[in-house]
Amino acid sequence: MLTNDIIDQVFGRKPYALTIPQLQAYVRTYTYKKSYQMVVTREENKLYIRATNPKSRLPKVQLHPKSDGLFFIKEAALSFSFEKDSKEGVTSMASYYRNKKDVDWKKEK
C-alpha cells in the first residue's frame, strides 16, 4: 500500500501552504452532538484535529491542506471541508469518509 507521502513524491504534488491567519481561522471546537466534538488547534504553522469522545478513535492528528478550506489526514481515509461566510468567517465543518459526506459539524460559539 502506498502512503500519501510516497504518492506525493511519485506524482510531484507539493503541499498547499496556508498563512498563519488562514490557519487560525479554523481553530475552534465543532459539535455534532452535545457529547461529540472535534477540536481544531494550531501549533506553529500546522493544524491538528482530535475528537473529544473516546469512542471515536481519532486522537490528535495533523490536518494537511489540499486548499484553503479542504483538509485531509494521513492516518485514515478522512477529509474535512470548512464553510465560511463574509461576516463570521468559518461557520461549520463537514467530515468525509472515503470521499462520502459523513457528518456536518457546527461551530461552537
CA 63 remoteness from chain centre: 5
Q: pLDDT tens digit string along 72-98?
A: 999 888 999 999 988 878 999 999 998
Q: pLDDT tens digit string along 28-81?
A: 999 998 878 999 999 999 999 999 887 777 789 999 999 999 999 998 889 999
CA-closest candidate to residue 37, choices 66, 23, 58: 58
CB of 73 closer than 8 Å to CB of 49: yes
On the question of pLDDT at 5 being above 70, the answer is: no
- Grid coordinates belonging to 43: 501549533
Phi then psi for residue 4, to 5 deg, are -60, -35
Task: Please tell me the distance from the alpha carbon of residue 68 to that of residue 22, in angstroms, as a whole number.
Answer: 8
Cell 465543518 -> residue: 93
